[in-house]
Structure 1
Amino acid sequence: MEENTQQVPQPKQRPPRKSMVLPLLLMGVFLFVIIGVVGVVVLFFSVGSGPKAVKASKDSVIEIRVDASLSEYQPPAGLELLFQENRLFLHDVLDLLKKAADDDKVRGVLLRVEPTSLGWAQAQELRDALERFNQSGKWSLATGEIWTEKEIFIATACSEVYAAPESIFMLDGLMSRTTFFKDALDWAGIQVDVAAYKEYKNFADPYRYSEMSRSHREAIEVLMQGINKEFIAQVSQSRNIDGTVLEAALAKSIASAAEAEEVGLIDGRRYFDEVETTIKEHLGTDDPPKILRANRYYVPQRRNVSGRNQVAVIMASGGIQSGGQERGAFGDPIISSDVFVRHLRAARDDERIKAIVVRIDSPGGSALASDVMWREIRLVSQAGKPVVASMGTVAASGGYYMAMGCDEIYALPTTITGSIGVISMRIGMEELYKNLKLNVEVVKTAPLADFYDPYRALSDQERQTFLNRTAEFYDSFVQKAAESRGVPVDEFETHARGRVWTGADAVRLGLIDKLGGLQQAIERAAELAGMEAGYRVRTFPEERDFWDMMQDPDLVESHQAQTVGQNLLPHYSRLLFDLMHTNESKGLPVALMPYEIVIE
């Protein structure tokens, strides 16, 4: 049988299908890059150009919000650089009120008052600016829903004050509180060695006592009485109330809008729509009022300031420390000596800048950093460029140390200043180590090599050395301060000793030159430089441009750190911060306020 050799036809093989994954991936990367480039270009123009001010039309009313976001100027950092709106700071609002007073199109100001984080002196500056606005012949109207003494202090500078009918009033006098940690530290086995000069330098009292010492309580009471005196005097004058009547009402507590109206603190109880009706009556129209938000009406120039005659305002807010950091560990403002000196030298070397104002809002900090900045300020003054200090809410200890290098010092009546003294602290954890069954062995080449290590307590001789070092710095501080004020050291020392004073007391004692706010300090600096008008004000640190912003290594981290810091429990965050600072400072002297003061 013949074999069938015919071959069965095979199906044609299709060429292998090419994978689309790689092209799609490349296309996605390409689109991502294109979108990123476009985004950067858009961001460049939006950040670079900045918002434009809106001109007021006829019969405009400028709306100013006084809330927790209103503060001393601090340049934006982190994500704020990208996403913040035109934020106005305190000195911007002061300038805005000056501009609005001279603007024929502006008829009045509407002040929306909310719980504020401004200090008493800052509130005083805003109050003074509102009164100057009223003196231009225009009206100002304040309205709000939640009121403490500070909100009332600000609002009563307006020509009219209204509160929502169901407003919350918490007017029952001022208070200050101090948390003491000694018992908790004893329980944990932690000892804090303290060298304080002198008896009113009570910063470390919470770590060595369980309650207030006599000098501690005395100083706070005098301080609070001074602030309360200013509050009663100014509010009663603005509202035409007898001061004794106001004090009696506060002693009983004012808790409602009806009670506030009865005392005369407000003109009436009105909802916001009724306030708008009042505004229309002032304007003489039935049409909706033209209310222009403050941050649209006023856009500050934060960089590239032009003009041949300038006054530089160098902002110095926060605790004082050595180094070049621009923000604290939790995103809070700080005064770093390297950063401050850099700004000061830039202002000194710029021929367009004829005078400098150093705006200080600081409880102090590193004594060494304070001394470095004092020296740089003196060098600028000696070179012939006038330097004037403007004290904010607090300019005490290291803050005063900076100010005394200036040619003249301005402060508000409620500014907290003085605290001319020094303190050194050292942590000892010997008992804690024992409780935790920890044993430390040390090898050293000199007897005091482990002086600052916390694992052991100090001997009597070492403790005396610790005290002597602090005393030497105190003597130097007092001598420099006395020389700057032209007073014999012995006479000046009676006002030092670590004691805090209000601005009103400080001008009486000769610790400062005049009472006044930032605007008065700027005017005085210009006068000392021979400029009466036509000068421009330039603020340091200047706002960074787009490219500087893109190189910020803390673009995200600083924002996250600030959020974390704001959510820490206040008492324990202060304890943690102080202990960390004490450990890192290695017992070096610090020029800090004698205590953390919160007057509410």
Structure 2
Amino acid sequence: MEVFIFDYLAFLLKSLTLVVLFALPIVLIAAAKNHKNQDETAQLKIKHLNDELEAYQQELDEHLLDKSALKKLYKARKQQKNTDATEDKARVFVLEFDGDMQASGSEHLADLLTILSARIREQDEVVVCLESGGGYVHRYGLAAAQLERLRQQQVKLTVCVDAVAASGGYMMAAVADTIYAAPFALIGSVGVVAHVPNFHRLLKKHEVDFEVLTAGEHKRTLTLFGENTPEGRDKFIEDLQKTHELFKQFVQQKRPQVEIKKIATGEVWYGQEALNLGLIDGLQTSQQYLQTRCQEANVYKISLEKPQPLLEKLGINLVKVAEKTWSRWQAKAQNLPKA
């Protein structure tokens, strides 16, 4: 009996191997063909949050209320809809920004703002649900500049932070007219940091020369493989301080109520502390704020979605796996406090 089972398992494994060997090339060819023929133009997705919320509430009411109460409720809702149809209600557009080191979502954000700019009115509002621990200064400076376009159009901008808006993330948030954060969201980190490893001594130990040739006194201050000098190190620190000064000036300009010397130390604060320091304007989650706005305005969540290649749908996306691994490593490296 045992021999039969082992023989059967061996046969099964061989069969699966053959299936994989024959099927994999077909899948790869089909995926390549599909990707080639696919229109890569991003599709605009619009979700009316009022309708979504009402549908959920209606489903709950059907389970909780008796027929008589349900009938009265439907009648009241119908009358309210007729009233709303005659009113020129305010409109709220909800965007999401989930930041990484490169602030790679800024291109997506810019496209959405360009789409909105042709139809948005001064009485409308844009809500950005922002999550970012920061990254490269120039990339987050660009993302903040994209949000600045709304201020130039005299459109109200609200930023909601549920988890973190630190460093470059707070640079973006500071552009808003109003900032809301969850009670334990991490806010602030108005500072600048740079990590520069140097392998010069290791190369020297193994008798490997690495030359850094420049034209211009400060073309290279610190390098990875060359021999760093005290003068180069001092210049690098000077550049960091200049960048920090620009960051401080930006925050002070956008939020004049903050005591800049007190908050520009590179520290992060939880929501309640950030509120006391003037870094934010209120404590509530993004869902709380949007639920409130649904009672007063038509709320639309908008996004741009590109068609997914077949291989990505099958989960064979090494880039995404690498990005997630890198993000996890960064989170551990930041030594964020854990509850």
Task: Return the TM-score normalized by structure 2.
Answer: 0.67
What CA distance in whole angstroms lies between the structure 2 residues aligned with 1:387 and 1:405? 8
Closer, same or farther in 2 for the Cα pair 1:534/1:474, shift >3 Å?
closer
Q: Distance in 2 between matches of 1:346 and 1:454?
A: 43
Distance 1:319 1:95, change over 3 A: farther
Residue 266 of structure 2 is aligned to residue 508 of structure 1 = no
For residues 331-410 of structure 1, the aligned pairs below 5 Å read: 335-351=104-120, 354-410=124-180
Change (3 A) 1:384 1:566: closer
Unmatched 5+ stretches in structure 1: 1-31, 45-74, 76-91, 109-306, 322-333, 579-594
Letter in 1 for 2:276: R
Q: Deviations over 1:431-469 (max 9, x none)?
A: 121233321234433344443531123211111111111
Q: Whole-Å Cα distance in 2 between the matches of residues 568 and 407 of structure 1?
A: 33
Distance 1:484 1:431, change over 3 A: same
| Structure 1 residue 349 displacement after superposition | 2.9
Other-structure match for 1:319? 100
1:495 positional shift: 2.0
Shift, 1:567, TM fit: 6.6
Looking at structure 2, the residues matched to 558 and 399 of structure 1 have their Cα atoms a distance apart, in angstroms, of: 31
> Residues 314 and 553 from structure 1, CA distance in 2 versus in 1: closer, same or farther, beyond 3 angstroms?
farther
Please give the alpha-carbon distance, in whole angstroms, between the structure 1 residues aligned to 2:321 and 2:184: 30
* Residue 517 of structure 1, CA deviation: 1.4
Deviations 1:6-28 (A, max 9, x none): xxxxxxxxxxxxxxxxxxxxxxx
- Cα offsets for 1:533-584 (capped at 9, x unmatched): 45131232x334xxx445x9977787233345657896xx449x98xxxxxx
Report the counterpart of residue 599 of structure 1 in structure 2: 338
For residues 206-221 of structure 1, what are the structure 2 equivalents within 5 Å?
none
2:211–2:226 Cα contact (<8 Å) kept: no
Q: 1:462 to 1:379 in 2, by over 3 A?
A: same
What displacement does 1:506 show? 0.9
> Shift of the alpha carbon at 1:335?
3.8
The 1:461/1:95 distance shift into structure 2, 3 A limit, reads farther
What residue in structure 1 maps to residue 305 of structure 2? 543
Over residues 98-117 of structure 1, what are the superposed CA-to-partner deviations in whole Å (9 max), with x where a residue is unaligned?
Answer: 75344421349xxxxxxxxx
Q: Residues 523 and 405 (structure 1 numbering): CA distance in 2 closer, same or farther, change over 3 Å?
A: farther
Give 1:599's aligned amino acid. K
Instruction: Specify which structure has the bigger relative contact order, considering alpha-carbon pairs within 8 angstroms and separated by 6 or more residues.
Output: 2
* Cα pair distance change 1:567/1:501, threshold 3 Å: closer
Q: Provide the rounded CA distance (Å) in 1 between the counterparts of 2:239 and 2:176.
A: 27
Distance in 1 (alpha carbons) for counterparts of 2:210 and 2:317: 39
Cα displacement (A) at 1:494: 0.7
Structure 1 counterpart of 2:62:
105
* CA distance in 2: counterparts of 1:335 and 1:564, whole angstroms: 15
**Partners of 1:382 and 1:337 in 2: CA distance:** 18
Flag the 1:368–1:569 CA change in 2: closer, same or farther, 3 A: closer
Distance 1:385 1:556, change over 3 A: same
Give the letter aligned to residue 319 of structure 1. Answer: D
Q: How does 1:112-191 map to 2 (within 5 A)?
A: none
**What amino acid sits opposite 2:99 in the alignment?**
G
- C-alpha displacement at 1:313, in angstroms? 1.6
Residue 532 of structure 1 and its aligned partner are, at CA, apart by: 5.8
Name the residue aligned to 2:223. 453
- SS for the counterpart of 1:497 is coil
User: Number of residues paired by the alignment?
Assistant: 274
SS in 2 for 1:319: coil
Is this contact kept in 2: 1:377–1:405, CA < 8 A? yes
Q: What's the secondary structure of 1:417's corresponding residue?
A: strand
Alpha carbon RMSD of aligned pairs, Å?
Answer: 3.9
> CA deviation digits over 1:275-312, x for unaligned, max 9?
xxxxxxxxxxxxxxxxxxxxxxxxxxxxxxxx996422
Q: TM-score, normalised by structure 1?
A: 0.40
Partner of 1:406, secondary structure, is: coil
Identity of aligned residues (%): 22
Answer with 501-510 or 512-521: which moved more: 512-521
Unaligned runs of 5+ in 2: 1-25, 43-48, 66-87
Query: How far apart in 2 are the matches of 1:482 and 1:537?
Result: 32
- Cα-to-partner distance string for 1:475-526 (whole Å, 9 max, x where unaligned): 12112212222237xx3221220111001111111110011111344367x5
Alignment equivalent of 1:494, drawn from 262, 266, 269:
262
